[in-house]
């Protein structure tokens, strides 16, 4: 049996494929080696996976994860999986390669991820050839939920939101200044917290401030990421991630401003990755 996972910062999507080709999908929390120790990852896998998966029957594991771009971080994840899946051949790759394989298969193109965080690459149909550096939620992640959240929460705390929007957010979330600062500076996963307001944006998309918050964040992504690729006007441009998926019309609008056409947007790579590994 094959176990495939695509993990972002907030959640991970999983697909189990048995020897008859039958598929079972499920979702867990995000597993990122930048935020979890090896032992913490082992504990999550033990608690969430082992109750309903016979680990001895898993032959291959393909884990594509945010934070799995360096050899050291990949080795951390491999050690965690080996502790649980004793008989499996384990492959740890970046979520960016997973997105590229899901969006392009064996063909070339520019792959973009817009979710809790953001990333991009030029993929030649086999491997990632060029990756504009992603600086994370503090310095980068343009176009992502965390980037929008950072700008939105700053304006909320400073009282710079339109009055009706300020009051609506206060009523819906009831956060104090201390609650917010604690979540950002003291509690685990500040990026998840900052990215947790996308539903509020979607519910208030008719508000000019929200519209500009999202489109300006997308513009920064195109300027700092997409436009940096020399082949951007020669190969297809495709996106994955919840932010790209739910704000698709706005993303197309911004891409048109740069005279670029997005040929495909998917919410999650997991189904396409299952097909990829069935054929490769």
CATH number, domain 2-99+270-279, options 3.30.1330.10, 3.40.50.970, 3.40.50.300, 3.30.420.40: 3.30.420.40
Residue 66, pLDDT score: 84
The average confidence (pLDDT) of the chain is 92
pTM for the full predicted model: 0.88
Q: Say how far apart CA 187 and CA 135 lie, in whole Å.
A: 20
Q: Is the pLDDT of residue 119 over 90?
A: yes
Residues 274 and 4 sit within 8 Å (Cβ to Cβ) = yes
Q: pLDDT tens for residues 137-166?
A: 677 789 999 999 999 999 999 999 999 999
At residue 239, the pLDDT reads 98
Q: What is the pLDDT of residue 147?
A: 95
- Six-digit token pair at 237? 């441009």
Q: Which of 9-23, 72-86, 122-136, 155-169 has the lowest mean pLDDT?
A: 9-23
Q: Would you state the pLDDT for residue 82?
A: 92
pLDDT > 90 in the chain, percent: 71
Domain locations in the chain?
2-99+270-279
- β-strands 2-7, 60-65 pairing: parallel
Beta-sheet pairing, 89-94 with 109-114: unpaired
Give the pLDDT band (50/70/90) at residue 33.
Answer: confident
What's residue 145's pLDDT? 94
Beta-bridged to residue 60, according to DSSP, are 2, 89
- The arithmetic mean of pLDDT across residues 122-150, rounded, is 89
Q: How confident is the model at residue 1 (pLDDT cuts 50, 70, 90)?
A: confident
Instruction: Report the relative pairing of strands 128-130 and 237-240 from DSSP bridges.
Output: unpaired
Nearest to 91 by CA among 118, 58, 134, 115: 58
Please report which confidence band the pLDDT of residue 185 belongs to, taking 50, 70 and 90 as the band edges. Answer: very high
Q: Is the per-residue pLDDT at 19 higher than 90? A: no
Name residues whose C-beta falls within 8 Å of residue 52's C-beta, 6 or more positions apart in sequence.
none
Neighbours of 197 (CB within 10 A): 18
Contact 137, 117 (CB under 8 A): yes
pLDDT of residue 2: 92
Give me 264's structure tokens. Answer: 């495909």
In terms of pLDDT, which residue wins out, 221 or 36?
221
pLDDT in tens, 239-269: 999 999 999 999 999 999 999 999 999 999 9
């Amino acid at each position: 049996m094959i176990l495939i996972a695509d993990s972002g910062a907030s959640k991970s999507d999983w697909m189990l494929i048995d020897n008859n080709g039958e598929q079972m999908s499920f979702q867990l929390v995000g597993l990122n080696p930048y935020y979890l120790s090896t032992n913490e990852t082992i504990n999550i896998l033990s608690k969430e996976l082992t109750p309903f998966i016979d680990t001895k029957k898993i032959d291959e594991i393909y884990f594509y994860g945010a934070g799995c771009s360096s050899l050291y971080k990949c080795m951390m994840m491999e050690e965690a999986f080996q502790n649980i899946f004793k008989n499996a051949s384990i492959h740890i790759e970046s979520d960016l390669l997973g997105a590229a394989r899901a969006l392009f298969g064996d063909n070339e193109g520019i792959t973009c991820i817009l979710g809790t965080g953001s990333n991009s690459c030029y993929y030649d149909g086999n491997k990632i050839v060029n990756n504009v550096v992603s600086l994370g939620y503090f310095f980068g992640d343009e176009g992502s939920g965390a980037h929008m959240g950072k700008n939105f929460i700053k304006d909320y705390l400073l009282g710079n939101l339109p009055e009706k929007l300020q009051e609506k957010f206060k009523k819906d979330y009831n956060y104090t200044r201390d609650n917010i600062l604690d979540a950002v500076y003291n509690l685990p996963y500040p990026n998840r917290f900052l990215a947790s307001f996308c539903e509020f944006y979607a519910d208030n998309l008719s508000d000019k401030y929200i519209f500009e918050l999202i489109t300006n964040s997308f513009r920064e992504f195109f300027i700092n990421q997409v436009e940096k690729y020399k082949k951007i006007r020669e190969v297809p441009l495709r996106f994955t991630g919840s932010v790209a998926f739910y704000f698709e019309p706005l993303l197309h609008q911004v891409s048109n401003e740069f005279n670029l056409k997005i040929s495909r947007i998917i919410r999650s790579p997991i189904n396409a990755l299952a097909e990829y590994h069935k054929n490769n």
